[in-house]
Amino acid sequence: MSSISKLASALHRRDEEPNIQLAELLVAKNDISGISELVSHLNDKGTDIPNDCIKVLYEVGARKPELIAPFLDIFLSLLHHKNNRLQWGAMTALAAIAKYIPDKIYKSLNTILDAAEKGSVITRDNAVKLLITLCENKEFNNDCFALLLEIMAKSPLNQVPMYAENTQHLVNTSNRNEFIRILQSRLTEVEKESMKKRMEKVIRKISI
């Protein structure tokens, strides 16, 4: 039975459980053929099958990134797709494989960051996740942390607390002052008390 026949849309299901189960099956069997079949349907007409395919693919990536890493170029090509689900799904897949092939992801950052700037909140959130992963590699730490700071400086305010919380473990003596400066500058824009408390908590923690 083909992978396509096991998708939620093929089973006339509106929930994602069949797609998650398919991802787990593909991982358990290291089924490259089944994964390749899903990739080949990402540009099908309509949205149901492509949307299900990208869901399965990034769920595979979350479990075993090496299985979807060979399709890096395909995911990059989807970052500006008119179907927003494919766009942010591709960014999710890229974030999943960033630890496995950091060199290739780093070389593609211009495309990735352009999509993050122009795309949806979920697209940008996953681009931030990708940058955090690259920052954990010493080779890319300085460049990628600077890019994270740029994003924090200009992102919609409601995203900043989460970005700060997820990035704080990367703060060190060389980047602490700039990190705090940007957070404090964004604090002047904050009106919601809960948001302010989250950001102030991060500042306090990294100032110790």
Q: Over 90: is that where the pLDDT of 108 sits?
A: yes
Question: ∠ CA 17-95-91 to the nearest 5 degrees?
Answer: 75
The pLDDT score that the predictor gives to residue 4 is 94
Q: Are 157 and 186 in contact (CB under 8 A)?
A: yes
The Cβ of residue 72 has, within 10 Å, a number of other Cβ atoms equal to 18
Give the number of C-alpha atoms closer than 13 A to the C-alpha of residue 166, restricted to the C-beta side.
18
The pLDDT score that the predictor gives to residue 208 is 73
Using CA atoms, how far apart are residues 71 and 85, in angstroms rounded to an integer?
18
Q: Over 80: is that where the pLDDT of 34 sits?
A: yes
Which tens digits make up the pLDDT trace of 135-187?
999 999 999 999 999 999 999 999 999 999 999 999 999 999 999 999 999 99
Using CA atoms, how far apart are residues 61 and 57, in angstroms rounded to an integer?
6
3-state secondary structure of 70: helix
* Rounded mean pLDDT, 99-114: 97
The pLDDT score that the predictor gives to residue 14 is 87
The pLDDT score that the predictor gives to residue 47 is 94
Using CA atoms, how far apart are residues 152 and 161, in angstroms rounded to an integer?
9
Question: ∠ CA 67-71-72 to the nearest 5 degrees?
Answer: 110
Q: Are 148 and 131 in contact (CB under 8 A)?
A: yes
Using CA atoms, how far apart are residues 148 and 139, in angstroms rounded to an integer?
16
C-alpha closest to that of 39 among 82, 73, 6, 79: 73
